[in-house]
Amino acid sequence: MLRSRRIFLSLYIAVFMSSLGLGILSPILPIYIDELAVSSTVLGIVFGAYSASRTLFMPPVGYLSDRWGRRGFIIGGLFLFTVVSPLYAIADGVTQLILVRFLQGMAAAMLMPVAMSYIGDLAPEGKEGFLMGSFTSAFFAGLGFGPLIGGFLQDRYSVEAAFYGMGILSFVALVTTSLTLPSDSPSPGSVQSGWKRTGEKDRTVNMFHLTPNLSGLLFFRFTRALGIGFVWVLMPLYAVIELNISSFQVGILLSVNTFITTFLQSPMGHLSDRIGHLKSITFGSVAAALAVAGISWTSGFGELIAVSVVLGTAGALIVPSGSALAVELGRTGGMGRVMGLYSTSLSLGTMAGPVLGGVITDLYDIRLVFPIGGLLGLLGWATLIFSYSRNNTRA
pLDDT at 116 > cutoff 60: yes
* DSSP conformational letter for 123: P
**What is the rounded distance in angstroms from the CA atom of residue 152 to the CA atom of residue 141?**
17
Confidence of residue 373 (pLDDT cuts 50, 70, 90): very high
- Structural domains in the chain plus CATH codes: 1-185 (1.20.1250.20), 209-395 (1.20.1250.20)
Residue 307 CA to its chain's centroid (Å) = 21
**Alpha carbons 169 and 84: distance in angstroms, whole number:** 12
pLDDT at residue number 377: 94
pLDDT digits (tens, 9 = 90+) for 213-271: 999 999 999 999 988 888 877 888 788 888 888 867 877 887 788 889 888 989 999 99
Q: What is the pLDDT of residues 77-109, one digit of tens each?
A: 999 999 998 998 888 878 888 899 899 989 989
Give the span between the Cα atoms of 284 and 313, in whole angstroms: 8
CA–CA separation, 232 vs 315, rounded Å? 13
